[in-house]
Structure 1
């Protein structure tokens, strides 16, 4: 199985923008989870992490997106970060016998978020990182 970034969708409601992506990853959920929820994992494909308390209600500080709180935490399945000006949600599901599907949502106001092209490039890096992991 090879990873792929499915078509992203974008919606706007007033001054709130919502991006959705479906990313298919060639590794099981347990192998993908650290890339979405640890400083080393996030730093390997997205952005630097100054603080991450891996639990519901924990503090998070990401370079660029800013500071906030973990508002959903279901180990190996869901991590959601409410950050300055928005919310980022990673939802993992099984995809076949050996893969994972990542359902991603980024909700942000005005110009506080990154667009589809930026996230697509990040997810391509995530796929490369995950494919290279044991």
Structure 2
């Protein structure tokens, strides 16, 4: 089973952008969860999480992005981080067959609109990891 990354879709409302991806990861949800919800997992494919309190309302600091709070937390399914500058990053995991995971990703942000290629490269790294 190989992974795939659907074309990202984006919407803009003024200076606010919403980027969505559907990423099919060839691993079970239980194996993908740590990649989006632990400092060690995030560091392997995305960015270092200098602080990550794994609970709703917990503090989070994503290196090079900023600090904020965990605004959604459903163990093994949903991790959402909202940064102080208003950026929101959401990972929603669903089963995709017996051994796969569908990762529904949303990034809401302000400013320049060049985020899709950056996220695509990150997801390629995530999908290719054993």
Task: Report TM bin, short chain.
Answer: over 0.9
Match of 1:124 in 2: 124
Q: Report the CA distance between 1:128 and its aligned residue.
A: 1.6
Q: Report the CA distance between 1:64 and its aligned residue.
A: 1.1
Post-superposition Cα deviations, 1:57-86, rounded to whole Å, max 9, x if no partner, equal 000001111000000000000000001331
Match of 1:90 in 2: 91
Q: Report the CA distance between 1:114 and its aligned residue.
A: 5.3
Question: What is the rounded CA distance, in whole Å, between the counterparts of 2:93 and 2:49 in structure 1?
Answer: 21
Secondary structure at the aligned position of 1:44 is classed as helix
Match of 1:67 in 2: 67
Report the aligned-residue RMSD: 1.1
**Structure 2 stretches lacking a partner, 5+ long:** none
Q: TM-score, normalised by structure 1?
A: 0.93
Question: What is the rounded CA distance, in whole Å, between the counterparts of 1:53 and 1:7 in structure 2?
Answer: 31
Count of residues in Structure 1 that have an aligned counterpart in Structure 2:
129
Task: Note closer, same or farther for the CA distance 1:46–1:9 as it changes in structure 2 (3 Å cut).
Answer: same
Match of 2:42 in 1: 42
**Structure 1 stretches lacking a partner, 5+ long:** none
Q: TM-score, normalised by structure 2?
A: 0.96
Q: Report the CA distance between 1:14 and its aligned residue.
A: 1.4
